[in-house]
Amino acid sequence: MDFVRTTRRLRKLFADANHYSSAGPQHPERPGLQESEYILMEEADGTPLHEVRDGQMIHDKLKIVDDVVAFEKKLLSISFTRYGNLYYATDAFPGCEKAELAGDALQSQKDEIERRFVIGPVIDAPFWNYGRGGMEIDRGPCEDTSSEN
């Protein structure tokens, strides 16, 4: 969500993440017990959809779907020069690379994204499940699938 807030064409009102832990460290007092990753967020403004949807007319429900689809189209219109997962630059580890936007964007926006974010390995389940976690394969970051070698 922080990345989405950084992107001018997607700037909307989002609840702020008050605190997060992306690294599940070992519990300091109980070796072998892994702490959990988490995000603590403030409550978003407005009325929860589940409280009003039953009383809505079909055209109002379709408007919500149209708004969600329009937002997803904007989100999917953003592309990077590398394939992988997005990480904060402050959480970068060996192998991460600058998060460079591909395509049209304001230079100030590109600079801010490069300063604040990096691209690292893919963490999607298909890259890790069914014994793949132990395989020596390249999980990125790698060239975008539309790039030529």
What is the tally of structural domains in the chain?
A: 3
C-beta of residue 42 within 8 angstroms of C-beta of residue 32: no
* pLDDT at position 102 over 80: yes
The answer to whether residues 7 and 37 belong to one domain is yes
Q: Are residues 27 and 65 in the same domain?
A: no
**pLDDT for 90 beyond 70:** yes
3-state helix/strand/coil string of the chain: CHHHHHCHHHCCCCCCEEEEECCCCECCCCCCCECCCEEEECCCCCCCHHHCHHHCCHHHHHHHHHHHHHHHHHHHCCEECEECEEEEHHHCCCCCEECCEECCCCHHHHHHHHHHEEEECCCCHHHCCCCHHHCCCCCCCEECCCCCC
Q: Are residues 85 and 64 in the same domain?
A: no
137 and 126, same domain (yes or no): yes
Residue pair 144/102 in contact by the 8 Å Cβ criterion: yes
pLDDT score, position 21: 66
Whether 148 is in a domain gets the answer: no
For residues 88 and 136, membership in a common domain is answered with yes
- The contacts found for 97-106 with CB under 8 angstroms, 24 or more apart, are 97/141, 102/144, 103/79, 106/8
Residues 136 and 85 in one domain: yes
Same domain for 67 and 90?
Answer: no
- pLDDT tens figures, 41-82: 777 778 888 898 888 899 999 998 998 898 888 888 888 889
Residue 87's Cβ-side half-sphere holds a number of Cα atoms within 13 Å equal to 25
Based on the domain organization, do 128 and 85 belong to the same domain? yes
**What is the pLDDT averaged over residues 2-28?**
62
Residue 84 predicted with pLDDT over 60: yes
Supply the range of the domain harboring residue 40: 1-45
